[in-house]
Structures are given as structure tokens and as C-alpha cells.
Structure 1
Amino acid sequence: MSQERLEALQQALFTQQVQGFLVPRCDEYQNEYVPAADERLAWLTRFDGSAGLAAVTTNRAALFVDGRYTIQAKQQIGDQTIEQGELAPSAIADWLCDALGEGDVLGYDPRLHTEPGLAPLKQRLGERGIELRALDTNPIDHIWQDRPATPCGPARPHPQTFTGEGSDSKRQRIAHLLADKKQDALWLANPEVCAWLFNIRGSDIPHLPVALCMGFLYTDGSATLYLAESASGDALRQHLGTQVELVNDKAALFSAAERQHVQRVWADPQLTNCWTLQQLRSREIQVLLERDPITGAKAQKNSVELEGSRAAHIRDGAALCEFLAELPDAVKREGFGELEAVQLMREKREQREGFTDDSFDSISGYQGNGAIVHYRVTPQSSLPMKAEGLYLIDSGGQYPDGTTDVTRTVALGEFPTQAKEHFTRVLKGHIAIATLRFPKGTCGEQIDAFARKSLWDAGLDYAHGTGHGVGSFLSVHEGPQRIGKAHTSVPLEAGMIVSNEPGFYLAGEYGIRIENLIFVKECAEYPGFLEFEELTLAPIEHRLIEAELLTDGERKWLNNYHQKVNDTLLPLVSDKTKAWLEQATQAI
């Protein structure tokens, strides 16, 4: 946090007559990935991870991040006078109660927070006589002199050949759920919800192929959709049809709802910001705060989407193999480092049909940087790579027929002996999830321990979830399903795509993660049970496997998986990569 920016913000707080301010890492849509114009947290603190919050008072400042970003945050904070804490309501509340006193006011931008997100703070601060106050304007926006403009690129139709269902059908399907709940309208809180419902895509957010939009869906299947004027061309209007009214002013959304005589609105409390709820309640509209039905519908991919994902993963797997095959020679070249590896991976994907963008900023970690769970390489941090040690590459691609996300850890030469045991225990956890059969109604938190057991047996663990949902040419991190320790109460259902990514990280030395995308399907052998099927196709590093630690069943799974990888990808790669692939997929 530069002293000038901090002092400017503290002066702005004085002007607004508050003693503190919250700076979350999000935008008004609660997106994980945000446009440059909404990178307020990075502007203020230098921390550019995907999850974090800063609290600033007149004489103190703190940055709160989760376990994925602890090391990264410390590095990016550097010598700044800023404290660091855990991104947990209790830790944030403790710090605020220590930094503020009775009668003080903590300001926040209501467009950047949700009511459930603020509730624990509101209660704790209220007990200490500290007021939590919504501000009309964000003070950072006034002092950020060179703040980029909000993007408003064109929205485009996403063909039914990729979606498997038309927008009319989707709108009617969700409208029936509205009627069942006796609600007049559904609040469409963010671009991902709108992208799925209207079968549209865009390019307003890095790595997330959406246009910035929000709107209302009504019980007759009609809708009002906010889009910037420059985003809605003739092709889009024709695609949406007469049942969808386009407006280019957010205030016009609420006027449209009044014209529709909306009195009851269903809104997802986790997606809907406080400002929107203020707008609805000020018009005496009753709000039903429950999970958006689109979130669950979007998560369950239909047969067309699953087939598209299979096809995208085949092309993506071939690109990854080309990268991995070239890597041993590349690391021998002078000047080749983590950043050059990211560029090489991008080049290989760009050669594959349909590739439009990375699905997130690639995590390219050599040696100790691999232990930074969500490490983001920069020209300043990029380590030169050598033909020794471990290298972790976590990357993915956006294709019109699917979104990919894959992590491989490879040995570039000699490596610490203990790494074999660590890698093999991670692999055992990966296979445990991949081969799991479970009854319908099972939630992700109920299976998470299978991924960790082998590590736990050795007194080891990892500080991130085991799996997250993935969209269909949408966000690489999609809810509501996940596999992790945290409670979700969301059953895994057929058609859901999730990642399977246990890991282990030895600070300062190396990181290990093995990630495949898998999808949930009905178990043919046992009615009422579900199981997983692999989507990701890429070899798992042989040299890091301690074969004696694998059971016969685990060995069989690995050999079968590698045979499938070889059979599927061999016709799609160069002659040089063919030789590498056959070697990398040999049975053990």
C-alpha cells in the first residue's frame, strides 16, 4: 500500500465522516474475476489474488486473505505498513473491534457487499457500539486518478449447438419455478446467470466470456436485461427476440419491474448486492432471499454440454502434451523461466480449434514458487528454470464447447527424495476421488476426506478445497457444488462438473498438485448411486511415483487412465510429442 494512496483514502474517510472503510476484492456482480476498473484492492494494497479484503482506519490498515494466498500476500505487501490476517469473519471482526472504538463508523460500498457477507461483522461491531454504514459513493473511486473505464464490449449469441437448449426453453423452465414459489420475478444478479439464461457470451471480464449485465425474469418467461448500449447489436436483439426488453440504464431495470407490477422478487442473497436490495425494498417490493434456481440448473450440464466438454478436453489435452513434451528442452535454454513457460503453454493452446482465452491466469511455479498455492507469476517474480527440481503448472482454456482446468507437477531433473512420497500420497487421494461411488444426496464435504486420507496418515494436509464446479464456456470456478471441508449442503448431482485436485506444499521448496476435471454420472451397476467420469486427459508424472505405495487397484486405475490418454491423444500430436506421450503413459 503506497503511503500516498493510503493517506488519500484516509483523508477521504475524514471527508465522509467515517473512521474506517472496507475494500473487498469484487465488483457489483460479486464476480470472482473482475474488470481492471474494479481492482480496487490491488490498486490499494498490491495484492492481486482472487479473494481478499482490506480494512482501513484513520491510523491502521490490514489485508485479510485465505490459506491459498498467505505467502503471496506477504510477498506483495512487502515492506508496506500493513498487517495481515485470515480471511474469516471472526478474524476481521476482531481486528476491527481493536482498531475502532465505540461511536465510530465503518463505511462500506453497498454495491460491493452482500447482506450475508456483512452480517457477522454487523453483529460484532454492533455489540461494541460501532456503526456499519453504507456510503453513497466509494471513496477510492474519487482518488484513483487513472482508473480504467468499465468495459462494455459486444454481447453475442451463443449457439444452441453448444448450449443444448434454447433461451426460450430455459426461461420458461425457470419461470415455472417462479410460479411455484409465488414470486413475480427473479433477480438476475450477475453476468454468468444471464449468460446461461439468454445463451449469450461476451468479453468484458478477463478469462470469463461474459458481458456485464443483470436483469429480471418474469413469470411469463419474458425478461428485462441491462446491457451497455454498445453491447447490444442487431444480431443480439434478433437472438433475444421480442420477449426480452433491453435497457442501458440500471435504474431502468427497477422502473421496468414496476411497470410489470412486480411485488415479490426472488433474489439470491449470495449474489445480490446490498444496493440492489435497497432499491427493491425502497419500492416496497417483498424479497425472497433464497439460492437462485439458475445456479443449480446451470451446474447440471446436459448431454450436449458434456459432449462439448469432452471434445474441448481432448483438444486441450493435446496442447498440454505438446507443452510438456517440449519443456525438458526449453528449460535448458538461457532465459527460460516461469513466465516463458506460461507463454509457451498459451502458444500450444492457441494452435487448437476454438481456443478463445485462458480460463484463468496460469499458475506457473518452479521450486519454492510452486508452494504458493495460487501463485501468479510476474516479470519481477519469474524464476529461471533449470533441468532439476519440481515444476507445477495449473492452467486452463476457454473454448466455445467447454472450459478446462488442469494441473500437472513434473520433475525437470533431480529432485528431493521426499517429494516422491508426497507426490504419491497426493496421487492416492486423487485416485480415491476418481474411483469413488456414492449414494445420491451425498454432498462434497462428505467425500473430501477420501482425498486427504493418505496425506493425513503421514500427518500432512493442504489448505485449499479438493474440488470446485466448472462452467460450460463460463467460469472456471462455478457453484453451488464443491468438494472441501467447508459445509455446503449441496448434493452432487448427475451432470455436474467438478475438479479433483488434492495437493501438498512444502514452503520454500516445492508444490505438488494433480488436477483433473471429472463429471458426476449415474452408476449403471448400482441404482441410486453416482460415480465420476474423467474429462481431463494428460499424463501424470511417472518419475515422481513411489509405486510400492500404490495398491493394486490404484495401479490399475493409473494404467487404464494412461492407456486412455495415449489412445485418445496420440493421433492429435506432433511426431516428436508422440514419442514423449508413449513414454509418459507406459504402464507401471
Structure 2
Amino acid sequence: MSQERLDALYQALQKQGVQGFLVPRCDEYQNEYVPPCDERLAWLTGFDGSAGLAAVAHQCTALFVDGRYTLQAQQQIGDQAIVQKNLSANEIVRWLCTTLTAGDTLGYDPRLHTERGLAPLRQPLQDQGIQLRPLDQNPIDAIWTDRPAAPSGPARPHPLAFSGEESADKRARIASQLAERQQDALWLANPEVCAWLFNIRGSDIPHLPVALSMGLLYRDGSATLYLAREAVSDALRQHLGNDVELVHDKRALFHAAEHQHVQRVWADPLLSNCWSLQQFRERDMQVFLEPDPITSAKACKNPVELEGSRAAHIRDGAALCEFLAALPNAVQDDDFGELEAVQLLRRKREQREGFTDDSFDSISGYRGNGAIVHYRVTPESSQTMRAEGIYLIDSGGQYPDGTTDVTRTLALGAFPPSAREHFTRVLKGHIAIASLRFPKGTFGEQIDAFARKSLWDAGLDYAHGTGHGVGSFLSVHEGPQRIGKASSQVALEPGMILSNEPGFYLTGEYGIRIENLVFIKDSSRYPGFLEFEELTLAPIDQQLIDPTLLTAEEIQWLNDYHHKVRETLEPLVSESTRDWLVAATAPIRAQ
């Protein structure tokens, strides 16, 4: 099927007079998760990971993915005539310049790319005599005959009890920064930005509780907001108030900017697509490309949001414990596999107050599948699980008061001896981050090595970041904060929520990852320093721990953490799970 689609795309490109085309995995809002109508990369190639890009040139196709998706892409491409390469600007440029020739044109959909994203390609292609051209119509849309309709579900108010700050106050706070920068308007390019600013949520995107939206915030705190007509109710209009004008056509946003006499527009270069920026420039408006102030503002959770996250994690932890306690009996059945485990965990979460959705597609990997970092189980790939080997489950929930994300690695029975050392080294890295104290102004990349040192000592590593930001009933992957090798130049600040998730993956054998969510707070002992506090509450499998590799301080951290888990969750779980929980959190002794 995919070869037929590739052939159809080659023909569509010929009709548009271009020899190549870029197919990113995103939508016009630059969302990580996209609605089915925007899954063009998956439709074309079969690869459905959350990051990737396909390049088509003449009769050749390449798929570029990063280290998280190497194995997944290999499996999903299969024997198609698609070459797989590393997702890097240099690798993309090298392939394009080798496959295209002087005089060729490379087309792209300006709604799906940012200027910053295309920048590394422009000069090298130009040097080779290859033109980069925006296309009025995406050629995939022309051949995707059964493409799903764009979602337009209801947008709903997000109550003050969960948001902790009125929308009008947020708008005034952000608008004051416009005045300081002498900007007339802020371009609200992304539904997450709009969700936070206007205190609204929706269900247009799987796992991301937003309504598809974009808009403009003006210096006086008023705004123009795009939402589909079907998304708007009388209750929403009342919630937004008279200072927020609603429009139902994206082009009306740019007409509104003209009516407001906007001359200078602040736009985030990472969120704003090429088409939107061109609309402003065609109207002789100056575009100020700097990071969106809302992204940083929503990263630092207020006290109400932090308290909500604590509450959501307690309910989520109780659900996870019910699942973990039931797992040993479940794997005794001949028809229980990775997919059934996901379904069981979902049922446990659905029993908890406020649960609305998974925060992402659960990663349920038994044995070798666990070594595929972002493995997504399907009915075809699901392995039957037995009372042996190692199982990795990475999952999360969306609750009105918080978003969760947790990974646990479990021994279901006898397991390879090497796994104990690997697990313990991952645990040492996890504890190193969890117990770290660091000065204000520290960047995430400056602490990443603490998570990797024990693995590095044994010549081991992992090919993903150590931590990502998490939203408040928003995206489970939220910027700008992160912990990883790559430079972020973003200081860690109080109120930020991050994951702490070192790992190790032995191809074909097992995957190991231990992930908790933490938030940053001021140190109570040392002025000018920051530290982490745990949000996630779930036992860490002690069967996989080699106590001889842990220091006394690390054992104390683990025992203290397990005491907190037991004390908090014991009243909230069933009697049978309570017995399991007490055993799973029993203190260990130094060897």
C-alpha cells in the first residue's frame, strides 16, 4: 500500500512542477501529537512515531528519525523502498544534495514548517542550485482520498480551582511584556499557548486536552481568538468575556490585526509556521522573532497547579499500584500480553476521580520490545507475557488537576543476570538527579551527566534525554525546560515540573527505565539553591536491585521514598493491593 502511495506522490509532485517534497510529522500548530487528519508521515511511510521527517526526491524516499525510533522505524518501514537515516540537519542536507540536482525544486507546505526549521537547508541547497519553494496545496492532501476531517470538538472553560489564575490576569501580565518590548501584539501560534492564556481545554488532539486554536494578544490585554464555530458555546463566550473577540476563519486573525493597527508582532520562531509569518509580512507588519513569553510563564506552575499535580499523582499512583499488584496473576494467563497490560492499566486509571485520557500512548514492552525506546504496542506486535523476563511500562494520565508520566521496569520472574547491574546503575542515576541540589541559574544540560555517570563508569549510555517538562492538564512533553545532553540554555526555575528518567536498552533482550515526575523548589537549607521534590508515587522493583552497588545514602533515599509511597497510598488501594504494596516498599539494608 505504501509503495502505491509513494508512486502517487511522485506523480502529484510532477503536476506541481517540483522534483522533491518534505513530509514532516507535525501539523500547522507544530504540535507533538496531531489529529488523524495530519498524520501524513504515517499515511505515507507507515512510521507513526512522534518525531520524524520523510524527504522525497525524484523516485527516492528517505525517512529520518532520531535514536528513540531507530528500531521502531526499521520494523514499520519493512521492505519498502525507503532508506532510513538519522534525523539531523546535516544528514537531511546530505541526502537532498545527493539525490536532487542543480535546477531541481524542493517543495514544502509552509503551514507545516517553521522558518527556523528550514534555515539549515536553505543555503546548502542554494549552493547546489536547488530551489526551495512553498506550495499552495500539500500534494499528499490531494491524493489522500479518505483523509479524516479536521476535529472541531467543544472548547470548555478550565476552572480557576485548577488554573489558579484568571485569564484576564494572565493576559494583563503577558501584555505588560509586550509594552516593555514595544510590540503591538503577540502571535498565539499554538493551542497549548491559547489553552493556558484563556483557561480553556478541549479534546481535539489525542492525549492533549486542547481545542485547535490560535490568536493574537494585544498590548491592552484584549485578544482575538480563532476557534472552529462548532467549538464555541454560550458558556465559553461568557467565560472569555467581552475583551476576547472570537473568529472562525484563520485569515480573520490577520484582518483583526489590521483593524487593531498592529505594526509589530512578537512571534515564537519554534511555534510559528512560515505561512502565518508571511501573512503578517504581506500586510507590512514587522515580525519580532523571540521565544514566546507564555511558554516560560506556563512552565512555572503556581501553587494551585502544584497542589493539583500532587493530588493527581496520588490518585494515579494508587491506580498504578492496583495494576502492578494484579500483574503477577495476569501473566499466568495464556492470552495476556503487552496490549492487554495497557488495557488493564487503563481500566485501573478510569476508576480514579477525574481521569479523562492517557497522557500518551503507553509504552508496554516485554523483553526485546522494551528495548525499543518509544515502542507502541499494536495487536500485531503484542507479545504474550510470561512469569519470566523483564517488562517495561511507561504510561501516564490526564486529570483536570494534573498530568502524570511514570515508567516502571519489572521482573516478572527469572531474568538475565546482567539486568540487575544495568537496573541498579540506572537507579543510581535516577537517585543522583532526585537528590541533587544546584544553584539558581543552572541549565538542564549542566546536570544531565549526574544521571549518566554510573552507566558511563561501565561504558554504557542511553540515546534519549534525561528529563522533559510536563504541563498542568496540558502536554506531557512541555518546554522550554529539559534535562539532556543537548544545549537548552534554559535555566531551571521553581515551579517547573520535569521528568527524571534515565534508562538502558539491550537490543533484543530488555529495556530499563525508571521515571518519576519532580518539581523544582527553593532549597530550605541553602539560600540561592534549588532542589527537586517527588510527585510520582509508585514502588521501584527491588528484585532488580543489587544493593552492593548502592551507597548508604542511595539506600536511604530509596527507603525514604518507599516509606512515602506506602504511607500515602496504603489507605487508597484495595486490601489485596495493600499487602502487595507493603511488601514492595519494605526497606532494604546496606550490604
Task: Please state which band the TM-score falls in when normalised by the shorter chain.
Answer: over 0.9
Whole-Å separation in 1 of the counterparts to 2:126 and 2:490: 32
Question: 2: distance between equivalents of 1:436 and 1:262?
Answer: 46
User: Structure 1 residue 79 and structure 2 residue 79: aligned?
Assistant: yes
Tell me if 1:50 matches 2:50.
Answer: yes
State the alpha-carbon separation in 1 of the partners of residues 124 and 111 from structure 2: 22
Indicate whether 1:400 and 2:400 are aligned.
yes
**1:511 lines up with 2:511 in the alignment:** yes
Q: How far has the Cα of 1:57 moved from its partner?
A: 1.4
Match of 1:310 in 2: 310
How far off is 1:276 after superposition? Answer: 0.4
Residue 139 of structure 2 is aligned to residue 136 of structure 1 = no
Partner of 2:365: 365
User: Counterpart of 1:111 in structure 2: which amino acid?
Assistant: R
Tell me which amino acid in the other structure corresponds to 2:582.
E
Q: Which residue of 1 aligns with 2:418?
A: 418
The whole-number CA distance in structure 2 between the counterparts of 1:123 and 1:346 is 48
1:59 positional shift: 1.2
1:177 Cα deviation from its structure 2 partner: 0.3
How far residue 78 of structure 1 moved from its aligned partner, in angstroms, is 0.4
Q: Which SS does the other structure have where 1:463 is aligned?
A: coil
Any idea what SS the aligned residue of 2:378 has? coil
1:219-240 Cα shifts (integer Å, max 9, x gaps): 0000000000000100000000
> Match of 1:452, as an amino acid?
R
User: What whole-Å deviation, never above 9, does each CA across 1:144-180 have from its counterpart, x for those lacking one?
Assistant: 0100000000000000000000000000000000000
- Which residue does the alignment assign to 2:127? 127
Calculate percent identity across the aligned residue pairs.
77
Query: What is the aligned partner in structure 2 of residue 108 from structure 1?
Result: 108
State the match for 1:35 in structure 2. Answer: 35
User: Unaligned stretches of 5+ in structure 1?
Assistant: none
Please name the residue that 1:547 is paired with.
Answer: 547
3-state SS in 2 of match to 1:133: strand
TM-score by length of 2: 0.99
Give the drift of 1:126. Answer: 1.1
TM-score when scaled to structure 1? 1.00
Given the alignment of the two structures, is residue 526 of structure 1 paired with residue 502 of structure 2, yes or no?
Answer: no
* Aligned-partner SS, 2:475: coil
- The C-alpha deviation readout for 1:245-282, integer Å capped at 9, x for no partner, is 00000010000010000000000000000000110000
Please give the per-residue CA displacement for 1:167-203, whole angstroms capped at 9, x wherever unaligned.
0000000000000000000000010000000000000
SS at match of 2:111: helix
User: Is 2:522 aligned against 1:535?
Assistant: no
SS at match of 1:21: strand
What displacement does 1:323 show? 0.2
- Deviation by residue 1:42-70 (Cα, 9 ceiling, x = unmatched): 00000000000000112100000000000
Give the Cα–Cα distance (whole angstroms) in 1 for the partners of residues 222 and 298 of structure 2: 19
What is the CA-CA distance between 1:22 and the residue it aligns to? 0.2
1:164 aligns with 2:164: yes
Aligned residues: 588
Summarize the alignment of residues 186-585 of structure 1 with structure 2, pairs less than 5 Å apart. Answer: 186-585=186-585
Per-residue CA deviation, residues 120-158 of structure 1 (Å, 9 max, x unaligned), is: 011211111111110001000000010000000000000
Runs of 4+ in 1 over 3 A off after TM superposition: none
Q: How far 1:3 sits from its partner (Å)?
A: 1.6
How far apart, in 1, do the equivalents of 2:485 and 2:107 lie?
32
Alpha-carbon distance in structure 1 between the residues aligned to 2:2 and 2:286? 44
Give the C-alpha shift of residue 296 in structure 1.
0.1
* 1-structure distance, mates of 2:417, 2:302: 45
Question: C-alpha deviations, 1:385-405, integer Å up to 9, x for none?
Answer: 000000000000000000000
Q: Using the TM superposition, give the Cα deviation of residue 420 of structure 1 relative to its aligned residue in structure 2, in angstroms.
A: 0.2
**Map of 2:147 onto structure 1:** 147
Structure 1 Cα separation of the partners of residues 41 and 350 of structure 2: 31
Counterpart Cα distance in 2 of 1:2 and 1:362 = 26
1:87 offset after TM fit, Å? 0.6
Is the CA contact (8 Å cut-off) linking 2:317 and 2:538 kept in structure 1? yes
Instruction: Give the conservation status (yes or no) of the 8 Å contact 2:196–2:298.
Output: yes
Aligned to 1:540, what secondary structure does the other structure show? coil
Provide the rounded CA distance (Å) in 2 between the counterparts of 1:348 and 1:301: 28
Rounded Cα–Cα distance in structure 2 between residues aligned with 1:518 and 1:117:
31
Are 2:24 and 2:112, in contact at CA under 8 Å, matched by a contact in 1?
Answer: yes
Partner of 1:93: 93
Aligned partners of 1:432, 1:470: CA distance in 2, in Å? Answer: 20
Distance 1:127 1:523 in 2: 53
**d(CA) in 2 for partners of 1:548 and 1:280?**
63
Q: Tell me the SS of whatever aligns to 1:112.
A: coil
1:6-46, Cα deviation, whole Å (9 max, x unpaired)? 11000000000000000000000000000000000000000
* Amino acid corresponding to residue 349 of structure 1 in structure 2: R
The amino acid across from 1:420 in the alignment is R
**Distance between the aligned counterparts of 2:46 and 2:3, measured in 1?**
12
Cα displacement (A) at 1:443: 0.4
State the alpha-carbon separation in 2 of the partners of residues 492 and 86 from structure 1: 29
Letter in 1 for 2:323: F
* Alignment-mate amino acid for residue 313 of structure 2: H
SS in 2 for 1:392: strand
**What is the CA–CA distance in structure 2 between the aligned matches of 1:571 and 1:401, rounded to whole Å?**
21
SS, match of residue 462 in structure 1: coil
1:3 aligns with 2:3: yes
Is contact 2:58–2:100 with CA below 8 Å preserved after alignment?
no
